Amino acid sequence: MKLNDTLRFSFKTLTSYRTRSFLIILAMALGVAAVIVLTALGDGARRYVVNQFASIGTNLIIVLPGRAETAGSFPGAVMGQTPRDLTLEDARWVGRLAEVRRYAPLNVGAAELSAAGRLREVTVMGTTAEIFPIRHMRLAQGDFLSAASAGSAQIVLGAAIAQEFFPDGHVLGQRVRLSDRRFTVTGVLAAQGQTMGFNSDEVVIIPVRQAQALFNTNSLFRLLIEARHRGEIEEAKQAIRETLIRRHDGEDDVTVITQDAVLATFDRILRALTLGVAGIAVISLAVAGILVMNVMLVAVSQRTAEIGLLKAIGTPATVIRRVFLAEAAWLSLTGALLGFVLGHIGSLMLRLAYPLLPAWPPYWANFAAIFVAVLTGVLAGLLPATRAARLDPVQALSKR
């Protein structure tokens, strides 16, 4: 029997047992769809995290005061108690390094903001103008700490805060109070929303010296550094550490984090998660494969007389096996394709429901799902097909 005749013959069989075929195809399709949707979810989460990191800046190096003694805990950093402060002077020295393109010292605290008869608690960031390019922040209006006026009492309001305090939009030049200090509004941040759990719409930014005075501290909370080149991050990290050790009397009491290291860890964790989820979904494919086997076994016993007849008119066992295998292949292939479509519809709905989550299944998942589905289907068809081919024709024919 020629291949296309085999395929047509087995296809015709499937269309004449519609309910049976439909149920099997559905089982297969759900298995494949599960693989695609779950990997889309897992990979979407991974990409979300990666994107979040990328939005902070890719050449970023962060210096924290205090030393992480063992992996996983930063007691000094959390408590704000460190043997030696990370000072503005330290920052300036680091800024002179050849590997450093720009740097921004950072102090963070909370204070009461009052203006136009309103009062609320806000997060205050004390820093320099360099923070904008480093953190990819943008100003909606005005400017901040143009070089001439470094250290003066300027303040930039987050988009939401500006809206709250000055709903009429006349913000620039307004005078506000932060605790007991007066500031002049020189700029408003562009609305950016949430990045890495930090909402830049809800902060105010003041010069770092003003912040240190406000919070009565000499130590920086963080020092953000942008390396000149992505490839030089390791060298930059090394140079920064050496500079700070030298300045801190030979003591290695800062922690230097590169975003790449954090990113790689997250990437690894989430990739493993995606694989795990895909593994669970593959089990549903195996279940579908067993279903195909069951149904094919039932089909063989239902069609015993037909197999006997095929033998009587001179069909070799190999051809009979091929016909039943083709049937299994049709079932699983159709199921896999339907599942592929269902899975992508599912992923699309995920993306519509959670626009932040880029829930696209990874390429390998598409291929793997279809490949595994067809493979299990055909493997599951082997046993029934072989059984059909081995039937004794005389006994098969005597069965009605």
Structure-token match 């009492």, residue found: 153
User: Please, which residue, 147 or 313, has the CB nearer to another protein?
Assistant: 313
CB of 337 to another protein, least distance (A): 24
Of 19 and 216, which CB lies nearer to another protein in the complex structure?
Answer: 19
Instruction: State the nearest-atom distance from the C-beta of 335 to another protein, in Å.
Output: 21
State the minimum distance, in angstroms, from the CB of residue 349 to another protein: 38
Residue 12 CB, nearest approach to another protein (Å): 7
Q: Which is nearer to another protein, 262 or 317 (CB)?
A: 317
Q: Which is nearer to another protein, 56 or 397 (CB)?
A: 397
CB of 307 to another protein, least distance (A): 10
Nearer to another protein, 148 or 313 (CB): 313
- Residue 194 vs 318, nearer CB to another protein: 318
Question: Closer CB to another protein, residue 7 or residue 245?
Answer: 7
Cα distance between residue 34 and residue 177, in whole Å: 56
The residue (of 1 and 140) whose beta carbon lies closer to another protein is 1
Residues 42, 359 contacting (CB under 8 angstroms):
no
Nearer to another protein, 243 or 304 (CB): 304
What's the closest the beta carbon of residue 385 comes to another protein, in angstroms?
15
Residues that bind another protein (CB under 8 A): 1-2, 5, 9, 12-13, 16-17, 305-306, 308-319, 393-394, 397, 400
CB-wise, 7 or 190, nearer to another protein?
A: 7
Q: Which of 367, 61, 69 is nearest to 239 (CA)?
A: 61
Whether residue 132 contacts residue 144, with contact meaning beta carbons closer than 8 Å, is answered with yes
| Residues comprising the chain, all counted | 400
Distance CA 262, CA 57 (A): 13
- Shortest Cβ 295–another protein spacing (Å): 16
Q: In this structure, what token pair is assigned to residue 40?
A: 């889309």
| Min separation Cβ 15 and another protein, Å | 9
Query: For the purposes of burial, counting CB atoms within 10 Å of the CB of 266, is it exposed (0-12), middle (13-18) or buried (19 or more)?
Result: middle
- In whole angstroms, the minimum distance from the beta carbon of 278 to another protein comes to 39
User: Shortest gap between Cβ of 333 and another protein (angstroms)?
Assistant: 21
Name which of 30 and 331 has its Cβ closer to another protein.
331
Query: Closest Cα partner for 61 from 257, 292, 306, 279?
Result: 257
CB of 395 to another protein, least distance (A): 10
Q: Tell me how crowded residue 263 is: count the other CB atoms within 10 A of its CB.
A: 17
> One-letter amino acid identity for 380?
A
Phi and psi at residue 194, to the nearest 5°: -80, 125
